[in-house]
Structures are given as structure tokens and as C-alpha cells.
Chain A
């Protein structure tokens, strides 16, 4: 794997479609994820983006960081907007109003846009079977409005609307399993990824683009600001999330699960949780509870991938 990584770095597309000059915080792994996704997709791509950090940092008028056609309409509707784009172009190409061309139609949103307010629209778009990719950049909270909880915030994380306090341990619910919800739509391709594993991420994006029909990518995107970690630690925390199996890398292709990376050794979740300000208040018992749940979830996934 390591040797392959050194070699494949040379094969990576040199073009930047998410251009430098955007205004993301230092060390923002969400911006890095966008950049890698765009590299893998290439120029023949149309992006519809939900309101959120990535939209705000990339499009302050009169500037833009987007080197591909890009549209933002609102917070919850990136999936409906992109299916409009796809339907429009499909009709016009069929009717000879537009020259035929293979275009990647991509909707992007944060975990809030995806797991909460835009859930219905995502479900509708997946169910209708449009040829598009949905990319969720999961930084585990509403970062753009100031670190509020989403339904993808993990148990125990302190956010501004799930603060840890004398009577509270922070977020009270377990993280909503978005990839599983996407899989329940019987779509051809679902995958998880993390920019700390850039080649794995780009491979999955390419696969999603090549497949006809809806594809869903769930990308863990470390947010130093919201997670309360130093900006230079974002990549390391992404690796820790994967190596502790808190965020396993896997794909689901035409009904088959496959782990695309098996951490060896699997690190204790403590290593991931320690040092993150949002988990600062957790006791060793709390961390043990997270460990147990993480192990159980990972084992389920291993089983599914062994079943093929």
C-alpha cells in the first residue's frame, strides 16, 4: 500500500478545479476533501453546492474558487438542483439542442445539509435514479453557523447546541449512519472516504463518476475549528479516525460491501478522542463505552464485507 501510494502520487491529475484563494480556516480538511474530489472528477463536471462552510469560503462575490460550472441555491436542496441540471441537459442533448457530452453531475453538502434539512431531497433524488454523485462532507456539526450539533455529531461531542455541562455530556444521540441510509435506497454505489487517505478517496470518486445512476460518497472532513484541535493536526486526526475504526473506509457496490482499508493494528479510540477539545469532558468510562460501540460496529462491517 505504501509503495503504491508513492507511485500513484505521480498519476494524480495536476489541474486544480477548486482553486487556491478560498477562505477556509487553516488546516481545514473539508476544503482539502473538496479539492481532492474535484481533482478526481476533472473539468467536465457541474457542481451544485449546499449552503455551508464550503460555499461561503469559495464564493464571496465577485470572486470564485470554482474552475468548473458551479451553482448554489440554498441549504437543503443541492440534490434537487443537480437533478434539475442533469434532467435539463439530458433533455436538451436528446433533442439536439445541446451537443452530447459526458458530464459528471455532483451535489455537495455538509453533514447538516445532508443528514438533517436536506435528507428528504437527497432521498428523493436517489430514489428517482438520476445519474449523479452526492458528496457529503462530514465535519460532524454545523460549522458555518458556529459549531451547532447535527444528527451526524457523535455521542459525547460538545457543540454550541449540545454543550457539555454539569447535567450534560454533550451530544446525547449516536451519529446518524448516512451511508446506511443511502444504501437503503438500493443505489449502485456508496462509499466512505477521508482526505487523510487521498488515493483511496480519489479512487472512490472516480468509481462513483464511472457508474451510471446515483452514487453517494461520505467523506469524514476534519474541522480543526469545530473539533478544537490545532490546525496542523487535521490530517493526523483523520488517520486516527480511520485507524481506530471510528470511521471505517468501505464501499458498497451493487449490493456488495468491501472494506477498502483494514487498520493493522487497530488503535484504541482513546488515541482519537484525546486531544480533541470537543471531547475534553469525557471520563475514561465514557471513552470505554465509545470503544465498545466502535468495536461492535466495526465487527458488523467486517462480517458484511466478508459475506461480500
Chain B
């Protein structure tokens, strides 16, 4: 029998998932477009649907700090933010992963000021790309809901113990009402059973956390951090496999669409991947051998999966939604280029930046980007990036 699907705003579905995950502490500070997530959690706590401490802090810096404290005593911990909020919490964002605290955050992606913009792109998350967190990008409401459980599952795995950010495109996803298949609490309990943090702060077994490191020890701590993040890849896969076994919904670090025999592929992250697929379909009808590649797992970066997806392609046209100012281009293209560097028969990598602060990237735009990218690759014009649709 098919499971029941419910039409619900994606933010609310994320909050419901946090509730089903039996979260213990939620730290909350409002910022558009993540507000509906914490507002709904506040309601759930107020109505007794969720037994958790809801901590309405005075800033995002404190939100992440509260999460660190709560996670350090072994509580299941959640927060959510966007843009300026992420910028304000950035200091603690890096510390949370260094201290191996399994916090889960819904990051409703939004551009950074100035000019002030509340709309969506990936500028905020790229700022903390190197923060040591596991980063996953979701494409629609169902994926957002599913990945809350996946995130707790991965974060709390004793072999991982790292914070996880679920990147959800602001407004484009957070404020959509979508049909979502809800899982029942029993299934969730099986998937993420109650966990016990080893070395949690407790008077019975005192430990010191967040000590001061002299030069002779710092390097080793960073190597340990790197190993943990890279090593989390297997746990990410396993958690997706088990989720598929339980629900039938299957996810991969890199996903492809009509890419097997494609000559060139558009590469995206996040919700625009769905529009890209429509563009691919239309171009296919015109006889273009195109496909789409979607990077779901951003950290740890899925090199092997990307190699497999890109094999035999003449060109990858990477769509970035952020600019690394003064550098060679968008951050995703940068990484795809470096991953492909010195691969045998590596595809050319062409970089477009589009969709900044929610400027529409329609099917026609995708088609123009893909065809433009194809022409650039053929002409060997692969340096730098093109800011698509900018008015001169």
C-alpha cells in the first residue's frame, strides 16, 4: 500500500522531522528564510508534541554555542540559520566540527549582504565550505525531510561524530508547499535509535574539551579532523542505503540524469537541478547529447563518484551560485576543475555563475548556459567564469 503523502510547506516538514527525531535541544534565532522551521518547532514544543528544550537565544553566535554545549553533554541538538546568521555564527561553526560535536543544522541558503537580500543562492554556505562539517544539498521537500534523519544518523555515528549541515535553498524550497511522504515514528526510531555520546561531559567521568594546543600538537589534531571528515563518506553511503531499504527512497553522493551517453553535462547543486533536468530533456529532443550531474554530498567531496559520472564526457558545464571574488570562478567549478586536473581524458570544465539572490534561472536559461558552455569548451575557452545574464 502506498504511504500517505501530505501537502505541507517544506520548512514545516523539516521541523516535523526534527520532532520525529526526538531532538533534545533546539537553539533558535530568527532569520529569513529559515524562520518557519524554528517557529514550527517552537509550536511543537509549546503544544507538547515535542519534549525538548527550546532555547530562544539572543544571536546566532549563541545559537551555535548553545548547540555546542548541548551536544557536548550528549543531547540530540538542532538549529537552523541562513546568510548573516551563518556569518555571525561562523566562528563557532568551525569550532563545533573541530570539537567533534554532532550538531545538525538546516541551512536555508541565502545570499549575503550587501546589498541586503533575503533571497536564495549559495554564497552563505560557501563561506563555511572549509568549516569541517558534512554538507549535503537537497533538491526538493521530500529530500529535505529525509535528510534530517540521515543527518542525525551520520552525525551521531561513533566513527563520525561530526556536525552536519543540510543545505536547503531558501524560499525556492523552504517556502514551497509540496506533497511529502511522512514516515512513521517507529521506523524513525529504528533508523536513529537513542544514542550515547562517548566522553560526554558528566561529573561521573570528567573530561576536558576544547583545550589549548601548542604548535607541536595542532597539526596532528587537524589531520585527525581531516581523516574523520573523509572517513565519514562510508557512513554517509551506509546511512543512505539503510534509508533506501526502509523507505524505498535512494540517494547517492553524486546523481546523474540522462548522463550515461551524454557528451556534455550540466553540473548543479541544490534545487535548480530539477530545472536543469527539464532543460536536458528539451535539448535531447533537439538532438543534443546532454545530461545532468548533481552533486548531493559536498563535504566530504565525492571524488570517485564524480569521476565515474564525468567519464567520457567532452565537457562539464558547472553552474555556480556564488562567486569566489578575485579568484578563478565559482567554488563548485573550482573544485570540479581541480578534481579533474590530470585525469586521463578529463572533460573540459566551463563555469557559469547564475541565480544569484534568486534571480530566475529558467529552462531557457539553462539551455542557453548548456549550449554556450558547449561552444566555449569546443573553442577551448575554459578559463575563469561567466556571470550569466548580467546587465552591462
For residue A213, give the distance in angstroms from its CB to the closest CB of chain B.
16
Task: Find out whether the CB atom of B66 lies under 8 angstroms from the CB atom of A81.
Answer: yes
Contact A88 B53 (CB under 8 A): yes
| Cβ–Cβ < 8 Å partners of B71 in chain A | 84, 88
B158 close to A (CB within 8 Å): no
**A172 lies within 8 A of chain B by Cβ:** no
User: Which residues on the B side are within 8 Å of A87 (C-beta)?
Assistant: 25, 53, 55, 66, 69-70, 75
A76 — which chain B residues lie within 8 A by C-beta? 61
Q: Is A234 an interface residue (CB 8 A)?
A: no
**Inter-chain contacts of B209 with A (CB < 8 A):** 70-72
Give residues 217-273 of A contacting B (CB, 8 Å). Answer: none
Q: Does B231 contact A (CB under 8 A)?
A: no
A54–chain B nearest beta-carbon distance, Å: 11
A120 touches B59 (CB 8 A): yes
Asked if A80 and B65 make an inter-chain contact with CB atoms under 8 angstroms apart, the answer reads yes
Task: Tell whether, in the assembled complex, residue A84 and residue B27 are in contact, meaning their CB atoms are under 8 Å apart.
Answer: yes
Cα–Cα distance between A91 and B59 once the two chains are bound (Å): 22
CB distance from B44 to the nearest CB of A (A): 14
Closest to A17 in B: B206
A residues less than 8 Å from B69 (CB atoms):
48, 71, 73, 80-88
Interface size on A, residues (CB 8 A): 48
Chain A: CB-nearest residue to B63: A80
B348 within 8 A of partner (CB): no
Max count, chain A CB within 10 A of own CB: residue among B51, B74, B210: B210
B217 an interface residue at 8 Å Cβ cutoff? yes
Distance between Cα atoms of A71 and B1 in the complex (Å):
50
Q: Does A211 contact B (CB under 8 A)?
A: no
Does A68 sit at the interface, judged by CB under 8 A? yes
In the complex, chain A residues whose CB is within 8 Å of the CB of B206: 43, 66-70
Q: Mark A53-74, 1 if CB is under 8 A from B, else 0.
A: 0011001111010111111111
Do the beta carbons of B51 and A95 come within 8 Å of each other? Answer: yes
Q: Are B58 and A84 in contact (CB under 8 A)?
A: no
A90, B73: Cα distance in complex, Å = 10
In the bound complex, what is the Cα–Cα distance between A44 and B201 (angstroms)? Answer: 11
State A94–B211 Cα separation when bound (angstroms). Answer: 30
The CA of A71 and the CA of B209, in the complex, are separated in Å by: 5
Chain B interfacial residues counted at CB < 8 A: 46
Complex: A94 Cα to B22 Cα, angstroms: 13
Among residues of B, the one whose C-beta sits closest to the C-beta of A23 is B212
Cβ-based interface call for B386 (8 A): no
Q: Mark B178-210, 1 if CB is under 8 A from A, else 0.
A: 000000000000000010000001110111111
- Assess whether A187 is interfacial by the CB under 8 Å rule: no
Render B65-97 as a binary contact track against A, CB cut-off 8 A, 1 for contact: 111111111110100000000000001100100
**Residue-wise interface mask of A (95-119) relative to B, using a CB-CB cutoff of 8 A (1 in contact, 0 not):** 1011001010000000000000000
User: Nearest B residue to A66 by beta-carbon distance?
Assistant: B208
Q: How far is the CA of A80 from the CA of B211 in the complex (A)?
A: 18
How far is it, in angstroms, between the C-alpha of A123 and the C-alpha of B57 when the chains are bound?
10
Find chain A residues with CB under 8 A from B58 CB.
120-121, 123-124, 127
User: Does B24 touch A at the CB level, under 8 Å?
Assistant: yes
Q: Given the complex, which residues of B lie within 8 Å of A74, measured CB to CB?
A: 65, 91-92, 95
Chain B residues with CB below 8 A from A192, complex form: none
Task: Name the distance in Å between B23's Cβ and chain A's nearest Cβ.
Answer: 9
The smallest beta-carbon distance between A99 and chain B, in angstroms, is 9
In the complex, whether B213 has a CB less than 8 A from a CB of chain A is yes
A46-B73, A73-B92 known; A83 and B208 CB under 8 Å? no
Q: Mark A12-33, 1 if CB is under 8 A from B, else 0.
A: 0000000000000000000000
Residue with the greatest number of chain A CB neighbours at <10 A, chosen from B24, B69, B201, B205: B69
Residues from chain B with Cβ under 8 Å of A85 in the complex: 69-70, 72-73, 201
* Neighbouring B residues of A43 by C-beta, 8 Å: 203, 206
Tell whether, in the assembled complex, residue B212 and residue A55 are in contact, meaning their CB atoms are under 8 Å apart.
Answer: yes
| A293 at the binding interface (Cβ < 8 Å) | no
Q: Once the chains bind, are B73 and A73 in contact (CB under 8 Å)?
A: no
With a CB–CB cut-off of 8 A, which chain B residues contact A80?
57, 61-62, 65-66, 69
Q: CB-defined interface of B28-72 with A at 8 Å, one 1/0 digit per residue?
A: 000000000000000000000001110111110110011111111
Q: Are B194 and A46 in contact (CB under 8 A)?
A: no
* A196 on the B face (CB < 8 A): no
Give chain B residues whose Cβ lies under 8 Å from the Cβ of A95: 22, 24, 51
Query: Taking the complex as formed, is B339 at the interface, i.e. its CB lies under 8 A from any CB of chain A?
Result: no
Q: What residues of A have a CB within 8 angstroms of the CB of B201 in the complex?
A: 46, 69-71, 85
Q: List 28 A-B contacts (CB under 8 A).
A: A45-B203, A59-B208, A60-B212, A60-B214, A61-B214, A61-B217, A62-B217, A66-B206, A66-B208, A68-B206, A69-B203, A70-B208, A71-B201, A72-B211, A73-B92, A74-B65, A80-B62, A80-B65, A83-B69, A84-B73, A85-B69, A87-B75, A88-B70, A88-B71, A91-B24, A91-B53, A92-B24, A97-B194
Closest 8 A-B residue pairs measured CB to CB?
Answer: A84-B69, A88-B75, A124-B58, A80-B65, A88-B70, A84-B66, A77-B65, A87-B53
Known: A61-B211, A80-B62. 10 other contacts (CB 8 A): A77-B92, A84-B67, A84-B69, A88-B25, A89-B73, A95-B22, A120-B59, A121-B58, A124-B59, A128-B57
